[in-house]
Amino acid sequence: MTTLFDPIQLGDIALANRIAMAPLTRNRAVEGNKPGPMTVEYYRQRATAGLIIAEASPISPTAQGYLDTPGIWNDEQVAAWQSVTQVVHAEGGKIVLQLWHVGRISHTSLLPDGEVPVSSTDQVANASTFTRDGFVPVSQPRALRDDEIPGLIEDYRRAARNAIAAGFDGVEIHAANTYLIEQFLRDSVNDRSGPYGGSIENRARLLLEVVQAVTGEIGAGRTGIRLSPMTTFTAPLDSNPQALYGYVVEQLAPFGLAYLHVIEGETGGTRTPDGKPFDYAALRRTFKGPWMVNNGYSRDLALQTVADGQADLVAFGRPFISNPDLVRRLRDGATLNELRADKLYGGGAEGYIDYPTLAA
């Protein structure tokens, strides 16, 4: 019987166990949107994860939407990330980088020359973001022109190339949580006409072009993807999530991606939103490759899910923040540290690199 603690191969990436650290925004980047020494230590402490999915990282200056997130668009950022990947590899771990474009979830004060955020639409989201002046409503976006899409795809391609140059084992394309790619996917946001709006095929076009570019650049065996069919975070659900994500996964299947990572239910919230069923197993049967699940998994549920073969891996978010040695604690059935929720976003070492491990 397969357990959570058995090795697994994800495309080109060999993992020691089936426990992943989910991508987690911590807003501790230093000047120049680079991971600093504290971030090196943070990931080093968590390197016993089978796979670390490093935090969502903007692919270009225009792709950022929150203060102090580490980017992957220039050589200085590549050099800074090298310090992270080196320590994780020295500890025997594996690490991929999550490639991020926030779309309309941004604010002019965070963008170069006070640019406005770009999206599939010019409709403003009902959401806030964190800036130098604290939490503020997001800015009114402008809809990308179709002739700007090739440049956007190039930003993803360069980010993937940079991630490999930085020593990452691969990348995870962030197509979840109502950021740019999902702003194209969902008919609740995408009000375009033309090749990127209207039908499901058209709304999925951007995502598939990104996947084509990234896999063409670094290989499908180094490329994973994250989806969140039932998350409302900053946008309503699609009018037919099962049909939309069913099509998306059907189109993704032939690429032979390293893995598909699905957030079940509402991100960071309920796993089974009231009266809104979704058949994740149907997506898995279509995808066929390594299947990673996430969202509020307890130890028991994670053990059971892998033992039953319902998923190949489980990603943990908040438990990995407060338990650098989460893999050992899950193996031993040990108590978990409490999360200090007021230290999640921004700040210093406290609530970041000072969580205790179990005594030897």
| Rounded least distance, CB 175 to ligand PHB, Å | 10
Least separation in angstroms between CB 356 and ligand PHB: 26
**Closest approach of ligand PHB to the CB of residue 117, in Å:** 15
Q: Residue 288 region, left (φ>0) first, then alpha (ψ -120 to 50), else beta? A: left
Q: Which residue, 80 or 173, is less far from ligand PHB as judged by CB?
A: 173
User: Which amino acids are annotated catalytic?
Assistant: 179
Number of residues this chain uses to bind ligand PHB (CB under 6 A): 5
Torsional sign, CA 195, 64, 322, 326: positive
Cβ 254 to ligand PHB shortest distance, Å? 26
Distance of closest approach, residue 25 Cβ to ligand PHB, in angstroms: 3
- Of the candidates 110, 109, 43, 107, which has an alpha carbon nearest to the alpha carbon of residue 71? 110
8-10 vs 13-15, strand pairing mode: antiparallel
One-character DSSP codes across 270-308: -SS-TT----HHHHHHHH-S-EEEESS--HHHHHHHHHT
Site for ligand PHB in 7-36 (CB under 6 A): 25
Q: Give the whole-angstrom CA distance, residue 35 versus residue 324.
A: 18
- For ligand PHB, give the closer residue by CB, 139 or 177: 177
Amino acid at 51: L
> CB-wise, 57 or 85, nearer to ligand PHB?
57
The verdict on 177 binding ligand PHB (CB under 6 A) reads: yes
Q: Which residue has the tokens 């609740």?
A: 188
Q: Which is nearer to ligand PHB, 25 or 323 (CB)?
A: 25
The distance from CA 134 to its chain's CA centroid, rounded to whole angstroms, is 24
162 binds ligand PHB (CB under 6 A): no
Q: Which two tokens stand for residue 92?
A: 């025997």
56 binds ligand PHB (CB under 6 A): yes
Residues within the interface to ligand PHB (CB under 6 A): 25, 56, 66, 176-177
